[in-house]
Chains A and B, each alone.
Chain A
Amino acid sequence: SAVISQKPSRDICQRGTSLTIQCQVDSQVTMMFWYRQQPGQSLTLIATANQGSEATYESGFVIDKFPISRPNLTFSTLTVSNMSPEDSSIYLCSVQPFYNEQFFGPGTRLTVL
């Protein structure tokens, strides 16, 4: 398994500001993912972040809104830019150290006023 931590665990932000979420893994992993879970919705994949390459975004998500960094094999950040109340969600990072097995961080609960 992999132990994953996220910072911050929760935040309340003003409209128009940006928040950077950090994800730290206790082991080196190639594949890291960022998900969003809006209230009452399923977990939706935002992007896949592999070290050494640009993040791959899913349909409906763009780099300008959700820039991602992946400086090494144990760390990634997701920034939620120019936030609006619709961005209020739980944001989760996950890693896939083994084929077809993903482990999730505890999530960051974001509220945008």
Chain B
Amino acid sequence: DQQVKQNSPSLSVQEGRISILNCDYTNSMFDYFLWYKKYPAEGPTFLISISSIKDKNEDGRFTVFLNKSAKHLSLHIVPSQPGDSAVYFCAASETTGNQFYFGTGTSLTVIP
């Protein structure tokens, strides 16, 4: 059973516009959420995270929003750049555990 879901396998955005990647989860025990970025032939690299005590965390062009009541988080990239083209995975964990549960990923293409 997939506890973390990314329902959009792909997304295309014009350079300079906003990219919004969505993620839903089912386990109410999750209280820590992360986004990873993955280029082809490379392992995932950590991008940004958010704890459940917050509803927003911002780091430069990247902002993650968390809606706990809806069990939904999103990653906003503004402005989008061609170098942002990659697969983005959201992940969730319980702070009492070490296991990360990953979504299936969204492939973002930023068109110059």
CB within 8 Å of B: which residues of A? Answer: 4, 9, 31, 33, 40-45, 48, 58, 92, 94, 96, 100-107, 109
Q: Name which residue of chain A comes closest to B45, CB basis.
A: A104
B interface, over-half SS: loop
Interface residues of B in 65-112 (CB under 8 A from A): 89, 91, 93, 95, 98-105
Say yes or no: A45 contacts B99, CB within 8 Å: yes
Q: When A and B form their complex, what is the total count of cross-chain residue pairs whose Cβ atoms lie within 8 Å?
A: 52
Taking the complex as formed, is B42 at the interface, i.e. its CB lies under 8 A from any CB of chain A? yes
- Can you name 13 extra interface pairs (CB under 8 A) apart from A40-B104, A106-B41? A4-B43, A33-B98, A42-B2, A43-B44, A43-B91, A48-B98, A48-B99, A100-B93, A102-B100, A104-B36, A104-B43, A104-B44, A107-B43
CB within 8 Å of A: which residues of B? Answer: 2, 4, 9, 32, 36, 41-46, 49, 89, 91, 93, 95, 98-105
